[in-house]
Chains A and B, each alone.
Chain A
């Protein structure tokens, strides 16, 4: 399984990459929305883990762009973000329309919980 990890923090990203690799996933890491689009274009991911608080373009802008391509419409996206759920309510409608598999609040999400979310999202793909 190939996962596109969009994580701006260069200290946190290697932790998530190691975790996913130990579970047998191939991980493409992008720090910005632009990089993420290039990476997805090079190798279509099976799923995306997205931090919406990015530099330059926001993760929401990336989502709109990502979902605008027919071949990426059904790829599951898990939001793994530092933005608290109260603030995400502002984007509730957008997120529904973008078909987000799950929203995880990063500061209170353990690696085990992240893995469970990834496995759930990938299960839906393989069904």
Chain B
């Protein structure tokens, strides 16, 4: 994991890459909003394709933002102030944000926050970006129709609160993380072959963001589903209800 952080740190030294990521936002916005406008105003003979274009461009925009956030977090790694984050509310928001992608891929989203965990110590924007990236990867993985669901969950372990995104596809999960790390080491161009390149990179970005928060992304298993998870400390702050 340390290697990934240092590699990512090397990337963060590159002003060029940061600038490219910033520059990419505008064309992606044009594609996404133009597609949305066509869809809204029925200016297309293939509304489903236009909707898909919009969704993919929006995912790519989120990914670029997450990448830039990852760079920011790593740049200021020593100063990251972890804050109490209400985990149930955060997971609910992420499930809501992932719904359009899931719908497009005929995937259902299950939310499972088994227990009143209150708040965990993390970086709210970083957590949101990382979990969204993972969720978008999962909802695009080609699966049998019977397995088309992803679970966004938090559960308690002796080591802390485990927050993760899981799906029915065991092999794909393992290969996704391995693929992300190979891509990081430049053995591969794309972390998940056969999927949209933007979403596959979500694993890579999530990995780097979690590293910046002093936790690590790992392949995990929860309620018979495989996925990615990271462990966080529970906040000791009093919960006033």
Contacts and interface: CB of A to CB of B under 8 A. Distances in A.
A111 B33 contact: yes
A84 B73 CA distance: 14
Given A18-B41, A108-B61, A108-B62, A82 B34 contact: no
A16 B29 CA distance: 12
B26 A12 contact: yes
A86 B125 contact: yes
B81 interface: no
B36 A111 contact: yes
Q: Most chain-A CB neighbours within 10 Å: which of B33, B41, B58, B72? A: B33
Q: How large, as a class, is the contact surface on chain A? A: 10 to 19
A19 B30 contact: no
A107 B65 contact: yes
B128 to A, nearest CB: 11
A63 to B, nearest CB: 23
A19 B30 CA distance: 13
A112 B33 CA distance: 10
Given A84-B65, A86-B125, A107 B37 contact: no
A28 B9 CA distance: 44
A113 to B, nearest CB: 10
A110 B39 CA distance: 12
Interface of A is mostly: helix
A19 B65 contact: no
A9 interface: yes
Contact of A22 (B28, B41, B61, B72): B41
B189 interface: no
A125 interface: no
Contacts of B225: none
A15 interface: yes
Interface string B51-67: 00000001001101100
A8 to B, nearest CB: 10
A9 B62 CA distance: 20
Contacts of B65: 84, 107-108
B125 A19 contact: no
A39 interface: no
B28 A19 contact: no
Contacts of B72: 86
Given A15-B37, A112-B40, 10 more contacts: A9-B26, A11-B26, A12-B26, A15-B34, A19-B37, A19-B40, A107-B28, A107-B61, A110-B33, A110-B58
30 contacts: A9-B26, A11-B26, A11-B30, A12-B26, A12-B29, A12-B30, A12-B33, A15-B30, A15-B34, A15-B37, A16-B33, A18-B41, A19-B37, A22-B41, A82-B25, A86-B72, A86-B125, A107-B25, A107-B28, A107-B61, A108-B58, A108-B61, A108-B62, A110-B33, A110-B36, A111-B33, A111-B36, A111-B40, A112-B36, A112-B40
